[in-house]
Amino acid sequence: MKVLNLYFSSTGNTVKVAHKIDEAIRETGHQVETIRITPNTEVDILPYDCVFLGSGVYEWLPGEAVIRLLTKLRRQYADGGEIKPTAPRRSGKKAIVYCTYGGCHTGVNEAIPTTKYMAQLFDHLGYDVVAEWHLIGEYHGKLAKLSTIGRLGDIQGRPNDADLREVAEKVKGIIQV
């Protein structure tokens, strides 16, 4: 199985999850290509059987570099005839989208738009979106105080070791099927 592990991380939380995904996939004996998304990232996802895409949540949505990449790919695949009306399924292709989020104001409802947004490219291409994960990620820098006064309580240190262990278990569950 060819696995692609794409992620964007601005303050260091999502990258921890992406590295854990990379490690867990390798432990299953599969190969994985892990790519940090930047404003200049060019990638063709269609050759991959399984794609992970993760981002932090910033104002309810993925990072700008992720939005730009998804927009570019949608146009490219639509122009190339790969996105078809009714979005027919591509047998065996699967995607996992996830985010890390602070949820200070409205909890997980701040994270759901991000994963729904990211899932759409894959759904349009006929990939089976087998999981949408919303992982808690502490606020850093100027926003750090929000890590103790928000809707989710004290989220300092998240994602923590237990969060990352759970990610690894779920990855193995998906990859080994």
Ligand X SMILES: Cc1cc2nc3c(=O)[nH]c(=O)nc-3n(C[C@H](O)[C@H](O)[C@H](O)COP(=O)(O)O)c2cc1C
Binding site for ligand X (CB under 6 A): 9-14, 56-60, 100-103, 110-111, 137-139, 143
The encoded tokens of residue 122 equal 């894959």
DSSP secondary structure code for residue 154 in this structure: -
Distance in Å, CB of 73 to ligand X, minimum:
21
Peptide bond into 88 cis (omega under 30): no
Residue (76 or 109) nearer to ligand X, CB: 109
Distance in Å, CB of 134 to ligand X, minimum:
9
Coil, helix or strand at residue 145: coil
Alpha-carbon distances of 56 from 30, 37, 96, rounded to whole Å: 26, 12, 15
Q: Which residues are paired to 96 by β-bridges?
A: 52, 131
The encoded tokens of residue 95 equal 């995607």
Distance in Å, CB of 16 to ligand X, minimum:
8
Distance in Å, CB of 146 to ligand X, minimum:
8
Residue (23 or 60) nearer to ligand X, CB: 60
Contact 83, 126 (CB under 8 A): no
In whole angstroms, what is the distance from residue 135 CA to residue 19 CA?
14
CA quadruple 44, 68, 60, 134: dihedral, nearest 10: 10
Residue (11 or 120) nearer to ligand X, CB: 11
Q: Nearest-CB residue to ligand X?
A: 137
Residue (30 or 151) nearer to ligand X, CB: 151
Residue (5 or 103) nearer to ligand X, CB: 103
Distance in Å, CB of 84 to ligand X, minimum:
33
